Structures are given as C-alpha cells and as structure tokens.
Structure 1
Amino acid sequence: MTWAWSSPTRSSSSSRRARRPRPCCQRRPVPPRPPRDLEPGRCVTLTVCLLGGESSGKSTLALALQGHLSALGWSVALVPEHLRDWCIRHGRAPQAHEQAGLAQEQARQIEQARASPGVELVLADTSALMVAAYSELYFNDPGLYAHALGQQRGYDVNLLMGLDLPWVPDGLFRDGPALREATDRILRRELDRTGIAYHTVYGQGQERLQAALRIIGHRLGTVLVPDPVAARPRQAAWVCERCSDPDCEHRLFTRLTDARSVNPG
C-alpha cells in the first residue's frame, strides 16, 4: 500500500506537491485521546461482579477494590457473598431445595445496592450465577441458569478470577482444587454460550488488584491506576534519515532477527 500526502493549500496557484511515503515504516494512525479523569460525585452506577470458584480470591479482591476506589473518592457499595454468609449462619451447606432462594437473595441484594442513592460503584462479591453453577455441580440441576444469566447480563463488568492462586482451605465446606477448576469450566461455558463479556484477572496481591482496576477504569473512561505500557520507556533515540522513529528501528531489527532465525545463513 502507498500513501500520497498533499501539502497544505496555499493562496497561490501553485500545484500541490505529493510527498513520498516513508519507505521504512507505515503511516501511524493518530493515537486516541487519553480518557479524561472523572470527578467523583458524578451520577454513575457501575456494577462490577466477581466470579470464581472456591479459594479463587474473589472476596480478597473485592475488599481491595473497595478500599482503593473509596480512597480515590468514589462512593462504593460492596455486596458480600450471600451463600457464604448463609453457610456460616446455619453451620452447614445448603440443600437442593434451598438453592433457588439463595440465588434470588443474592440478586436482590445486588439490585438493592444499585438502587441506593449516591452509590457510584457496586462491587458484587459473586452473583446468582455462582449458585446456579453449584446447583449443577452438587445436584445436577441446571434449572437456575436462565434467571441467573439474565441478571448477569445486566452487570457492567464481569471479572472472572484466574486459577493462578494456591488453593487454601478455610474450614468452611471447601472441597478442594478439583471443584474450583470444575466451577471455572462451568462459568466460562455459560458466559461464552450466552455471549456475556467477561475479563479474567490473574496475579497475586497488587498485581491482581491493578489488573482489575485497569479494566474498571477503562469501562469508566478514567485512569484508576497507571498503565504499565505507557510507563515503559521508549527505545533510545537514533539518527534516521527517513523517519527518526526509534520504535521503527526496533521493529526493523526485530524482523531481521526473526527472519535470520527462520532462514539461517
């Protein structure tokens, strides 16, 4: 592909001169404008839902997000996992006939938080979809998916926990890493099947927190954490008679190196 750029129009009747294209690099598009910083206090109700099996870091990440976003001045409502609270209160795991009520209550609490005056961000430490997944795993009952997925579709950001964290028992009905992996497969299957967008977040501690913040910030159109790519130093400047673009030189030598590795000699 070739390009021909014309010089700015002048008042004289001289014809426009076509400029030769840069032979060593393609024309670079105009970079998009950086997202503008939003002032806390604007009318925003963004719902962020965390999904993942046992010991996948949902609650830890939810608390970390709440602390970070609140420190930035956002009004945040954290909706805890109703299933976990129910198990602690009753001292047992729920039975098959109790699953639908648990899913409905989780969805109700999320909707209540979304409707609360002044709340800008809702962090849901899981949703009815988790109860539906457990119903399939434990009781071979897929009947809760229709309602749960309908609710899930209305959330703005869905964060699926990566399985790169070690499995840690907490003494509360945890069955082991095999169930965590099975839950992850079910969640991905249902989200993919219904076309619900989600992001998988990996890393431990600050790494996972910053990954989640970048996703949320992108959805908000603001910067919640520095972008590591933007902070990375550019290649050292070099003298080029054609374009003076250090990244272009870097790409040129990378292509040459790759070509030599494929066709040595």
Structure 2
Amino acid sequence: MLRVALTGPESTGKTTLSRLLAEQYQTTWAPEYARAYLEARGPNYGLADLETIAQGQLAAEEAAAAQAHRVVFYDTDLLVIKIWSEHAFGHCPEWILRRIEQRRYDLVLLLDVDLPWEPDPLREHPTHRQHFYNLYHTELSSQVSNFAEISGPPARRFEQACYLVDELLAGENRAGPATSR
C-alpha cells in the first residue's frame, strides 16, 4: 500500500485535493481529524486536545489504509500537529515527535500558499501562511522525506499531484509488491 500525505498551512486546498485524488485513483482518503474534533467541541483547544487530535488522525489514517486500493491519501499528517503545537504551546509532545520519525509516507505533497485565503471559523492565521509554509519545507527537508511542492490554481495542483502519484505507482509496478512499511 502506497501512502501519500498532503500537508501545509491552512487554506491551501488539502481537503479538496485529497478527495479528488481518492476519486481519481478509486481508493480511500483520511479526512483531517482536527476539523471534526474542533467542529464538535469549539475552536478553543489546549495541548491535551492536540494529543487527542493526533491520536484521532493516526486512527483515521489506519482506517483509510485498511479500505484502500494500492494507494491511500491523507488530508494532513502529524507534521501539522507538530507545527501547530510548537506555535501555540512552544513545544510538541515527545510521543508525537517519535511517531513522526517512525511514520514514513511514500510521498508527501506540500501545498503552497498561492491560493486565496478562505475564511473559516477554525482557521487562525491568514497572514502567517508563508511563515508556516517555510516551517513545513524545512521540516520535510530535514526528514529527507520524499516530498514535492504543489502550487498553482486547483486544476494545476490536481495535474501535478496525479503526475507524481502516477510516477509513484509506476515505480512500484517496476519494483514488484511493496514490503511492509
């Protein structure tokens, strides 16, 4: 099973692109757990909430992977929780950092901030998106992750993502069945 995570700052189209990719490849995707959690409990949160959200995100990823066909898409990842936690609380719980180190994706798509900001009661930082984008880029580079930057209007983002996923799937076909990840 190939695992593709979409990451990046708020309001960059992660949810829409995740859903479209899952439709394109006739597979599953894991929605961002934080959205459902905060919609149910309100926009105020503490560090304990972020830990609960991280656990929920991991469970959502596993549930989507269990139903997927060849590839699964994740609308966000624990890197989002890490950056969010460090910004809001000055640090990230150690167990989340360990899970980030252990959890590898076959591809991470880092979505650029070149789409217009869409207001939403759960979004917090319309003027800090470039700052956060730079943090994501630095983190992914330091992890030596297989990541690609996705930018442009929605149709172009979808084309870029499909090209990268097609390449990933073609590489798996040449290499044979994937080993356990």
Q: Into which bin does the TM-score normalised by the smaller protein fall?
A: 0.7 to 0.9
Counterpart secondary structure, 2:3? strand
Counterpart secondary structure, 1:105? helix
One-letter identity of the residue aligned with 2:119: P
- What is aligned with 1:63? 19
RMSD in angstroms over aligned alpha carbons? 1.8
- What is aligned with 2:178? none
Tell me which of 49, 64, 73 is aligned to 1:113.
Answer: 64
- What is aligned with 1:129? 79
Give distance in 2, aligned partners of 1:183 and 1:143: 19
Higher share in helix: 2
Q: Which moved more, 1:86-95 or 1:208-217?
A: 86-95
Give distance in 2, aligned partners of 1:150 and 1:111: 17
Structure number with higher relative contact order (C-alpha < 8 Å, ≥ 6 residues apart): 2
One-letter identity of the residue aligned with 2:51: A
Structure 2: state its 5+ residue gaps.
172-181
Q: Is residue 214 of structure 1 aligned with residue 170 of structure 2?
A: no
One-letter identity of the residue aligned with 2:124: D
Aligned residues: 170
> Could you say which structure has the larger radius of gyration?
1
Counterpart secondary structure, 1:98? helix
Counterpart secondary structure, 1:177? coil
- What is aligned with 1:143? 93
Contact residue 103 and residue 132 of structure 1 kept, 8 A: no
Contact residue 107 and residue 151 of structure 1 kept, 8 A: no
Give distance in 2, aligned partners of 1:169 and 1:148: 31
1:148 positional shift: 4.0
1:80/1:95 CA distance change after superposition, 3 Å:
same
Contact residue 167 and residue 176 of structure 1 kept, 8 A: no
- What is aligned with 2:111? 161
Give distance in 2, aligned partners of 1:52 and 1:167: 13
- What is aligned with 1:187? 136
Q: What's the TM-score once normalised by structure 2's chain length?
A: 0.85
Counterpart secondary structure, 1:48? strand
1:92/1:176 CA distance change after superposition, 3 Å:
closer
Structure 1: state its 5+ residue gaps.
1-44, 71-75, 223-265
Q: What's the TM-score once normalised by structure 1's chain length?
A: 0.60
- What is aligned with 2:176? none
Give distance in 1, aligned partners of 2:99 and 2:83: 10
1:199 positional shift: 0.4
Counterpart secondary structure, 1:115? helix
